[in-house]
Amino acid sequence: MRVFSGVQPTGNIHIGNYLGALKQFVALQDEGDCIYCIVDLHAITLPKEPKELKNHILDVAALYSAVGIDLKKSIVFVQSDVPGHAELSWILTCSSYTGELSRMTQFKDKAKGDESTPTGLFVYPALMAADILLYDADIVPVGNDQKQHIELTRDIAIRINNRLGDDTFVVPAGRFLKEGARVMALDDPTAKMSKSAESEMSRISLLDDDGKIKKAIMRSTTDSDGEIRYDIENKPGISNLLSIYSAFSGRSIESLEQGYAGQGYGTLKKDLVEVAVDALSPIRDRYAEIRHSGELKAALEDGAERANAIAERTMKRVRERFGLGR
């Protein structure tokens, strides 16, 4: 089984990214051959300061390692180091429809009908499809917000297979977790936790210190009925805290509800602070060890080489099927 996923090199990688995606990346290493990409070509769909982008690429690589991705066993690499992504992206763009791309909610949210929306934001899902199809991936671990993009990837793969032969592309499947797949903002549990929200209290970043973790959880928005119960509709704040607690600890929501029955929100929050700090402080330590090491740079070089070998094989097949080249 081949596994592929990617994270954009931006700052503020948060516990939503960790619980929805990165934790799956680590676990899947025991089940298949894993390829994890730092998708810098995706990051430039909105203008990025070049020096900052360079740093964020290494930040994400170091975080991959810090959360438990084995840089020797899995392939970890930077997207722009493998030219096949951009090439296949164009080919898939030509097999995608403007109608389906216009229906992507991430595009609609970001573009808001503005005429000066960068075109890259519009064709972003074709680049994501290229990432996945380039490696014949079977499984793509992601958070719930990527469901629509995975569906589109499958549609494009099936469309091309129907035209050019069933074995042109492997049709991938998304993998989503039960808890953690959609972590909400701590200060506004009706919005998704995001890297770009202005309020620092909306998220816990993986490198936040213990004080910040505590502050964000203790101040998180709840409700006034005082009952610890999972009910997304009526109690989004408490439901989000229970979900995060469950994802960090492995305890089921039901067991948490039973354990905290009759107790106050303060107790739940205090315990969650402890659970989060215990999970995040070792990640912070490992990150500090590897971020500026030669080991990290060597791993990315080796990753690029291994990824490129697989990508080139796919591209030969794809160019052939499409009749491209001399």
Could you tell me which stretch among 25-33, 141-149, 185-193, 314-322 binds ligand TRP (CB under 6 A)?
Answer: 141-149
**Cα gap 51→56, rounded to integer Å:** 9
Rule CB under 6 A: choose which of 19, 121, 128, 238 binds ligand TRP: 128
192 noted as active-site residue = yes
Q: 240 to each of 142, 194, 227, how far by Cα in Å?
A: 18, 14, 14
Ordered strands of the 2-7 beta sheet: 75-78, 33-38, 2-7, 139-141, 173-175
Verify binding: residue 81, ligand TRP, rule CB under 6 A.
no
175 versus 269: smaller Cβ distance to ligand AMP: 175
Binding string, 17-36, against ligand AMP, x = CB under 6 A? x--xx---------------
Could you tell me which stretch among 12-20, 25-33, 217-225, 282-290 binds ligand AMP (CB under 6 A)?
Answer: 12-20
Q: Which of 53, 4, 1 is nearest to 306 (CA)?
A: 4
Torsion, Cα 10 12 18 24, to 10 degrees, reads 10
Which DSSP symbol is given to 291?
T
Verify binding: residue 241, ligand AMP, rule CB under 6 A.
no
Cβ burial of 280 (10 Å; 0-12, 13-18, 19+) is buried
Phi, psi for residue 205 in degrees, rounded to 5: -85, 155
List binders of ligand TRP among 27-66 (CB under 6 A). 39, 42
110 noted as active-site residue = yes
Q: Which of 48, 147, 195, 215 is catalytic?
A: 195
> Which runs of E-coded beta strand occur in the chain?
2-7, 33-38, 75-78, 139-141, 173-175
Rule CB under 6 A: choose which of 142, 185, 247, 300 binds ligand TRP: 142
Residues that bind ligand TRP (CB under 6 A): 4-6, 8, 39, 42, 128, 131-132, 140, 142, 146, 149
What amino acid positions are annotated as catalytic residues? 110, 192, 195
Residues that bind ligand AMP (CB under 6 A): 7-8, 16-17, 20-21, 142-143, 145-146, 181-183, 192-193, 195
